[in-house]
Amino acid sequence: MKVDVGPELQSFRGAIRRFLAENRIEALVGAETLNGFGDPAEEEPGGPVDARRHWESILAAERLICPQWPETVGGRGLSAIEMAILNEEFDRARMPRVMRGVGESLVGPSIIVHGTDEQRAHFLPRIIDGTDRYCQGFSEPDHGSDLAGVETRGVVDGDDIVVTGQKVWTSGAHLANAILVLCRTDSNVPKHRGLSYVLVPIRRDGMDNGVELRPMRQMSGASGFCYEVIDGARAPIFNVIGGLNNGWRVAMTTLGNERAYRAATQHLRYEREFWDLVEVARKQSLTTDALVRQDLAWAYCQVELIRYSGLRLMASILANREPGPEASVSKLFWSEYHRRFGSVAMNLLGASAMIRPGGPGYTNDRWQQTFFESRAGTIFSGTSEIQRNIIGERALGLPKD
């Protein structure tokens, strides 16, 4: 089924497709989405450094970094549906977007909704040009699903807020120079009400700002996230988004966008991955096996459903509604799909899936990696159980957990 997007959007698609064809950089074809975090020579697996810098400058000149943001702050003011088309075309050309860590998807949208004009004018251009590179410091050792219970404290001291506590599972922290922290600034009110959302520099004026990063290893062998010990880290009060003690509302916007953003892009990766697995089945003469066919047919239908549920969410955002329970439906759907897809791939490969390739460190082949990584999807951005609670309570009106 093809979605008719009308002549205007068709012409937008054509323009993006031409831009990508004319500016294609061979060395970056198939590279992972570029975070544009830190020194590009660092760990980001995004192709040669010079090529990545050049690509960033081309995208910046065309205002194609954070292009959905208002033109007044350096974006291009693209609508949600234009963003869906843009993502599809980048994916089709196999050229990477520059996402600025969680800047484009989480921090920026929350500042746009809850920040003051001064905060929007200050923070958003700095994300677009790569000056500020954020990671998301929500989870704590005892507070993951129970986010409202966070214990990290924020104390106002003159023009600063001083933050002390611990955060954990912070993706990309080792590549960021600032962390968005949800912290408790009032312990004398119900727990959702005493929280603040603070943008904390990891270093300040080139000096240590009391944020110690300890890398952690995932079961795939990768070390994509950190544990942070925050000891008296300072940020100007100006860096509190949404006002003191109003952080819960801002955090909900961040989480809604986190779920919604992936909902609209996830099918692109899954579609490619699906056809790659079909190719593996063909090479192994498994496409006549009834059980393999059944699994592949199931996976194909799920990817299509993810696609259309993502479009439905886009339409809701286009109508200026903030992502609500429908974002949880999408997140639950794609993450549970992918976890099962990882097992389908392992089953299809049979005994060979159990043998890891040789080489230094903890190596995995592509399908082993998919199997491991797909487990994480049902945990981050709120576990599947939490999504079911949200759907039950906010969409179906069931009694509270």
* 136 contacts ligand FAD (rule: CB under 6 A): yes
* 245 contacts ligand FAD (rule: CB under 6 A): no
* 383 contacts ligand FAD (rule: CB under 6 A): yes
φ, ψ for residue 315 (rounded to 5)? -60, -35
Closest residue by Cα to residue 107 from 88, 92, 120? 120
* 169 contacts ligand FAD (rule: CB under 6 A): yes
Strand 203-204 and strand 207-208: the pairing is antiparallel
Shortest distance, CB of residue 172 to ligand FAD, whole angstroms?
7
By CB under 6 A, name the one of 380, 391, 392, 393 that touches ligand FAD: 380
Catalytic (active site) residue 104: no
Q: 3-state DSSP helix/strand/coil percent for the chain, to nearest 5?
A: 50, 15, 35
Give Cα separations from 16 to 59, 65, 73, 269, 315 (angstroms).
11, 13, 21, 19, 21
Region from 39-47, 277-285, 372-380, 390-398 binding ligand FAD, contact rule CB under 6 A: 372-380
Tokens of 397: 């009106």
* 248 contacts ligand FAD (rule: CB under 6 A): no
How many CA atoms lie less than 13 Å away from 193 in the CB half-sphere? 4
Shortest distance, CB of residue 346 to ligand FAD, whole angstroms?
19
Q: Kindly write out the interface string for residues 207-236 of this chain, putting x where it contacts ligand FAD by CB under 6 A and - elsewhere.
A: ------------------x-----------
* 372 contacts ligand FAD (rule: CB under 6 A): no
By CB under 6 A, name the one of 110, 152, 166, 170 that touches ligand FAD: 170
Tokens of 2: 């093809």
Q: Which is nearer to ligand FAD, 157 or 385 (CB)?
A: 385
Q: Which is nearer to ligand FAD, 95 or 254 (CB)?
A: 254
* 144 contacts ligand FAD (rule: CB under 6 A): yes
* 379 contacts ligand FAD (rule: CB under 6 A): yes
Residue nearest to ligand FAD (CB): 144
Distance in angstroms (rounded) separating the CA atoms of residues 46 and 63 = 20
By CB under 6 A, name the one of 23, 33, 79, 171 that touches ligand FAD: 171
Residue corresponding to tokens 């450094």: 49
Distance in angstroms (rounded) separating the CA atoms of residues 63 and 242 = 27
By CB under 6 A, name the one of 125, 389, 391, 392 that touches ligand FAD: 389
By CB under 6 A, name the one of 385, 394, 395, 398 that touches ligand FAD: 385
Closest residue by Cα to residue 241 from 257, 232, 256, 254? 254
Q: Which is nearer to ligand FAD, 133 or 307 (CB)?
A: 133
* Structural contact between residues 196 and 154, judged by C-beta atoms closer than 8 angstroms: yes
> Total number of residues binding ligand FAD (CB under 6 A)?
20
β-bridge mates for residue 170, sequence order: 226
* 32 contacts ligand FAD (rule: CB under 6 A): no
From 89, 258, 273, 326, active-site residue: 258
Classify burial at 350, counting beta carbons within 10 Å of its beta carbon; exposed 0-12, middle 13-18, buried 19 or more: exposed
* 183 contacts ligand FAD (rule: CB under 6 A): no
Region from 169-177, 244-252, 306-314, 361-369 binding ligand FAD, contact rule CB under 6 A: 169-177
φ, ψ for residue 10 (rounded to 5)? -65, -40
- Residue 91 burial (CB count, 10 A): 18
- Residue 45 burial (CB count, 10 A): 7
In this structure, what is the dihedral angle of CA atoms 339, 344, 345, 346, given to the nearest 10 degrees? 90
Distance in angstroms (rounded) separating the CA atoms of residues 118 and 106 = 19
* 333 contacts ligand FAD (rule: CB under 6 A): no
* 139 contacts ligand FAD (rule: CB under 6 A): yes
* 369 contacts ligand FAD (rule: CB under 6 A): no
Q: List contacts with ligand FAD (CB under 6 A).
A: 135-139, 144-145, 169-171, 225, 376, 379-380, 382-383, 385-386, 389, 401
Catalytic sites, residue numbers: 258
